[in-house]
Structures are given as C-alpha cells and as structure tokens.
Amino acid sequence: MEHADGHEPVLVEEVLEALSPVAGGFYVDATFGRGGHAARLLQAVGTAGSVLALDRDPDAIAAGRARFAADPRLELVHADFGRLAEIVASHARGRPVRGVLLDLGVSSPQIDDPQRGFSFTKDGPLDMRMDPTRGVSAAQFVASTEERELQRVIAELGEERHARRIARALVEARNSAPITRTLQLAEIVRRAVRGYDGKHPATRTFQALRMAVNDELGQLRAALVGAFDSLAPGGRMAVISFHSLEDRIVKHFIRERSSVDPVFAGLPVIPASAQPLMREVGRKRRATEAELARNPRARSAVLRCAERIVAGGAR
C-alpha cells in the first residue's frame, strides 16, 4: 500500500520512538522526500514546535511546498544534507536542535518516474541524479570513467562480483555507441553477466552508479558530522539506511563517538575532553513483519539512533 502522495515512509513509529519528539521542539528532517516523516514530526511537536526540512531533489521541495503551504511550522530548503551544519546554522534562529532525521536513499516517486533514470525496468534517459540541476548524469559518468574505475565503483558500491565483466562490456558498448538509456544499460549488463540469482542482473550496477553519481557515501559522512555538530546536548539523531555500506558508516560513527577517546582508554582518569560524546539509543531496528507486508521497500531498512551527551565541538 502506497500513500496517496507516492511514498510510504518506513519505520515511522520506530523513528518517533527513537527521537521522542517533545512538544515545542525544533527538529531537522534532512531527507524530506514526500514528507511522511516530517508530517508525523509536525504532529508530535504541536503548535509551538517546528521542522526544518532539506531535500536535494527540486521535485520533493515543490511537492512539499504545495502540500504544506498552510503550515508555517515547516521550512523547506533545497540543499544537500552534506551541508547540514551550515543550513541549520543559517535557519535555526536560536532554536536548539532536538533531533535530526536522515532517511537515506531514493524515494518511490524518484524510482517510479522513468524520466529520472533510476529504474532498470522502465526506459528513460540514463540520469540518476537526485538533483538534476547539478552534477554529472549517470550517462556522462559511464561515458567518461575509465574501465578500472568503473569496475571499482561497481564492485564496491554495488557489491557485484561480476564487476570486471560488466565494466569491460560497458567500455566495449560505449566504443560503438553512447550509452544514454536505462534499458540500454540494463541489457548490456544482462548480457555481460548471464545467469540470475533472483534479482535482475542490473540491480547492483544501477545501485552502484546511483551511489557514485550522487556521492551518497560522501554525503552521508558529511551529514553525520553536521548532524552531530548541530544537535543540542540531549538531542538525538536517527538514521535509516538501506545499504550495508551506509549502515557500516553510521554504526562506526556512533560507536566511535560513544566511546572514550582511544588515546585515553584504560587510563585511571579520563579527561573531560576524551569522554564519550554520544550515547547509542536502543539497538538497531528493522521493520516488523506487518510493515513488510505493507511496504516491501522497508525490507533492507535499518534504523540507528544516538543522543548527544556533551556540549562542544567534534573530536
């Protein structure tokens, strides 16, 4: 079951439980999408609370401005969450940030629109940019990246064991004609891989190219630091990831900041500057069977949450 506005938010109850939004509080939704989580946050903060929401997709911002036009508690900004700290600093107007949400990846409206180029089952231009107003499209990336680098990207970001064969096939194909369409790319990969393991053979290659074109891991690393720096003491960050590489980055970030600085670990007196900066809140959470039955997209979703426990900058 999908929402009327095209994106069913994942792990909503779990996010609310993790962030425990307080009435009157100020929260940041760094991945607005179609506003499913933001709507629930607005409900929880009541009339005196507010939400600052970011999205790098101009369509998400436009849809949000239309849907929430009458709600002055929501401020929408077209920006990358890699710039989270800067955006929050310029929009907070003294309000302490009680929580930050990052719901990573792409939204259903992005995948469902063939013109955005994310889908390997519908023909469209090979674009894949979440922000089509900037950067390099997947077609340009495939046209201009060396075979070895293509192989690395597909192997690492796609966790694809046939990366070498796929990179070779892409280079051979582009030498005879530019690769500009999604189905064209899917067919080249299908022919290069042969044999299925249940998923469409182009699944991992599409994922890898999407992550590369949008610098998803770089954005995530910057956003975690930005979220931490923006949070008030006692404020929480909740992160939903859909990919093991993302979850690993989130897990390490939280673990590192939830422990004593290793330089001082084991010493009888730990200086205040080396004390943990965060506290992990609960264990990682996944969707319930009931949610999976409604929304299969939630299958790979993992939620982690942490609370900032001291004031001051990052280590």
Ligand X SMILES: C[S@@+](CC[C@H](N)C(=O)[O-])C[C@H]1O[C@@H](n2cnc3c(N)ncnc32)[C@H](O)[C@@H]1O
Whose Cβ is closer to ligand X: residue 240's or residue 278's? Answer: 240
Whose Cβ is closer to ligand X: residue 173's or residue 220's? Answer: 220
- The reply to whether 33 sits near ligand X by the rule CB under 6 A is yes
- The reply to whether 247 sits near ligand X by the rule CB under 6 A is no
Quickly list DSSP for 89-135. Answer: HHH-TT--EEEEEEE-S--HHHHH-GGG---SSS--BS---SSTTSS
- N-to-C CA span, the chain: 44
Closest CB 15 distance from ligand X, rounded Å = 9
- The residue number whose beta carbon is nearest to ligand X equals 33
Closest CB 12 distance from ligand X, rounded Å = 8
For residue 196, with 0-12 CB atoms within 10 Å meaning exposed, 13-18 middle and 19 or more buried, which class applies?
exposed
Among 19, 28, 60, 189, binds ligand X (CB under 6 A): 60
- Interacting stretch for ligand X, rule CB under 6 A, among 99-107, 112-120, 277-285, 287-295? 99-107
| Phi–psi pair at 158, nearest 5 degrees | -95, -10
- The reply to whether 105 sits near ligand X by the rule CB under 6 A is yes
- Interacting stretch for ligand X, rule CB under 6 A, among 61-69, 105-113, 119-127, 138-146? 105-113
Closest CB 186 distance from ligand X, rounded Å = 22
Among 19, 21, 28, 31, binds ligand X (CB under 6 A): 31
Among 9, 21, 49, 99, binds ligand X (CB under 6 A): 9
What does each C-alpha distance from 67 to 31, 54, 170 come to in angstroms?
A: 16, 15, 42
Beta bridge partners of 4: none
Q: Collapsing DSSP states into helix, strand and coil, what is residue 273?
A: helix
Among 14, 57, 247, 307, binds ligand X (CB under 6 A): 57
Contact mark string toward ligand X, 169..208, x via CB under 6 A: ----------------------------------------
Closest CB 45 distance from ligand X, rounded Å = 16
- The reply to whether 37 sits near ligand X by the rule CB under 6 A is yes
Kindly give the residue spans of alpha helices, DSSP state H, lying in the chain. 12-19, 36-45, 58-67, 84-91, 108-112, 138-144, 147-158, 163-176, 182-193, 203-213, 216-230, 244-257, 289-294
CA-CA distance, 122 to 162, in Å (whole number)? 23
CA-CA distance, 87 to 63, in Å (whole number)? 20
Whose Cβ is closer to ligand X: residue 150's or residue 303's? Answer: 303
- The reply to whether 103 sits near ligand X by the rule CB under 6 A is yes
CA-CA distance, 310 to 273, in Å (whole number)? 10
Cβ count within 10 A of residue 114: 16
Structure letter (DSSP) for residue 265: T
Whose Cβ is closer to ligand X: residue 57's or residue 307's? Answer: 57
- The reply to whether 119 sits near ligand X by the rule CB under 6 A is no
Whose Cβ is closer to ligand X: residue 102's or residue 192's? Answer: 102
- The reply to whether 118 sits near ligand X by the rule CB under 6 A is no
User: Binding residues for ligand X, per CB under 6 A?
Assistant: 7, 9, 31, 33-37, 54-57, 60, 80-82, 103, 105-107, 130, 219
